[in-house]
Amino acid sequence: MTITLYQNSLVTLEDAQCYFDERYDSADWYALEETEQEKLLISASKKISRLDFVGTPKQPSQPLAFPRDYELPQDIKDAVCEEAYSLINSQDNDIHKKNIENNISSISLGAGSVSYNTTALNSDDNQLSSSTARYLVKKWVKKGYPINFS
């Protein structure tokens, strides 16, 4: 799969390589083949594009959240790289993640039990795996709800 900027990814492979050249702990990234790196960047871009960013998209039917009526911030590019990196070791077989995705709010086994705060876990703040990516996009995401006074 090839990256096409703003069609399937918010960053190029070259952008990501520059980012990871300056990141301290990026050995896992460099252990991957370029095709795997591209897939991670594409997946991370799609996850980040699900967020409701401030501003208006340049085209109403564009596949990703950017380009917008402002230049793509470095924070968003960095967040894509951080989210891609976090996906390398994500636990797709994590039973708790599967329970939350299946709308299970609690489980009891014998004397033990686990409860999930599904409201908090399904909020926009928790749609990204990387806490660093969440921090980087936070100031670019809309807060509150629009009110129409007409």
In a domain, 50, yes or no: yes
Cis peptide before 63 (omega within 30 of 0): no
- Tokens representing 62 are 């564009």
In a domain, 103, yes or no: no
In a domain, 24, yes or no: yes
In a domain, 98, yes or no: no
Structural domains in the chain (count): 1
pLDDT (tens digit per residue) in 125-147: 568 888 899 999 999 998 877 67
Q: Return d(Cα 51, Cα 37) in angstroms, integer.
A: 22
Q: Which helix (H) or strand (E) holds 108?
A: strand 106-109
In a domain, 118, yes or no: no
Q: Single out the residue of 118, 73, 127 nearest to residue 99, CA to CA.
A: 118
Average pLDDT over residues 6-21: 96
Distance of alpha carbon 106 from its chain centroid, rounded? 26
Q: Which domain holds residue 23?
A: 13-91+125-138
pLDDT (tens digit per residue) in 47-88: 999 999 999 999 989 999 999 999 999 999 999 999 999 999
